[in-house]
Structure 1
């Protein structure tokens, strides 16, 4: 009996949440430059901006 109440509760919660979310409009119109700037603020780097250290060069210096 307890399992049945749990499943009914989960079902009612899903129905209520889907009704609430139908009224929410997600606006995700970001410019490429805005996305790139946010990524750079978080530490993104392009591969051509990174310095590669090779083992032979590191041992000779």
Structure 2
């Protein structure tokens, strides 16, 4: 009985993969950001450069 349930699960996963790939074939993802835009977004999220830190951590130097 559990053998038939396993077949249904694999069939569902297979059909889902086929449909997903079929829909994604025509999708084009083209968003290009310049280096300065990427850096600005990273800084907005809290990125700092190593030389901007005011602390010295053990094991560095």
TM-score range, shorter chain: 0.7 to 0.9
Q: 1: distance between equivalents of 2:16 and 2:52?
A: 49
- The answer as to 2:8 corresponding to 1:22 is no
**Residue 28 of structure 1: CA displacement?**
3.3
TM-score after normalising by structure 1: 0.81
Question: What 5-or-longer segments of structure 1 have no aligned partner?
Answer: 55-61
Question: How far off its partner does 1:12 sit?
Answer: 0.3
Give the unaligned 5+ runs of structure 2. Answer: none
- Count of equivalent residues: 54
Aligned-residue Cα RMSD (Å) equals: 1.4
TM-score, normalization: structure 2?
A: 0.81
Structure 1 stretches of 4+ with a deviation exceeding 6 A read none
Based on CA coordinates, which of the two structures has the bigger radius of gyration?
1
- Output one character per residue of 1:8-57: Cα deviation in whole Å (capped at 9) or x when no partner: 00000000000111111011311000100000000000000111257xxx
